[in-house]
Amino acid sequence: MNILNKLKELDLTPNEYVVVGSGILEVLGIRYSSDIDIAVTRNLFNKLQQTGDYEEEERYGKIFLKKEGIDVIPQLDWDKYKTTTEEAIASAMVIEGLYFMNLDELCKFKTALGRDKDFKDIEGQPHMYATQISDLSELMI
């Protein structure tokens, strides 16, 4: 999946979303991601929900939107993770005009999730990301 192209096709409103999870890892060439998890503001969530283009799925007592390998998250923070969607957007890395959770925040997020696959992603950080970060200037605008 080419995450950059897929996100550009979605044409999401700038400053109203941030790609969370492993999406940034694929963009940086660290590992493949099979889906795109996007945390959005309440305003954008309502707009996307009204299009009828997304399936609704209840998880963790919240409604998520799903479409073709894309999961839209209505609220980023929970009891183990305190960063709000708006805070994650404000601190996002912007690559080719697209918003991605910054790597420090990603480590906190994946630690809070606490799954084996998340711990594997953050193992060795910051060394794992060091060479990738130096190449960001080519991608970021």
User: Which pLDDT score, from 0 to 100, does residue 119 have?
Assistant: 64
What's the confidence (pLDDT) of residue 2?
87
Q: What is the pLDDT, as a whole number, of residue 87? A: 92
Residue 39 and residue 97: Cα distance in Å, rounded? 16
Query: Looking at residue 141, what is its pLDDT?
Result: 46
Long-range contacts, 42-45 (Cβ 8 Å, 24+)? 42/74, 43/16, 44/12, 44/13, 44/16, 44/17, 45/72, 45/74
Pairing of strands 70-73, 36-40: parallel
In this structure, which amino acid lies at residue 44?
Answer: L
CATH number for the segment(s) 3-131: 3.30.460
The confidence score (pLDDT) of residue 24 equals 84
Q: What is the pLDDT of residue 40?
A: 96
pLDDT for res 61: 78
| 3-state DSSP percent of the chain in helix, strand and coil, to 5 | 40, 25, 35
Helix (H) / strand (E) containing 63: strand 62-67
Between CA 35 and CA 70 the distance in angstroms is: 6
Q: CA-to-CA distance for 47 and 51, rounded, in angstroms?
A: 7
Residue from 97, 101, 127, 128 nearest 112 by CA: 101
Question: What was the pLDDT predicted at 135?
Answer: 46
User: What confidence tens digit (pLDDT) does each residue in 8-17 have?
Assistant: 999 999 999 9
Q: Domain residues of the chain, as ranges?
A: 3-131
Segments in the chain below pLDDT 50: 126-138, 141
Which pLDDT score is estimated for 106?
Answer: 81
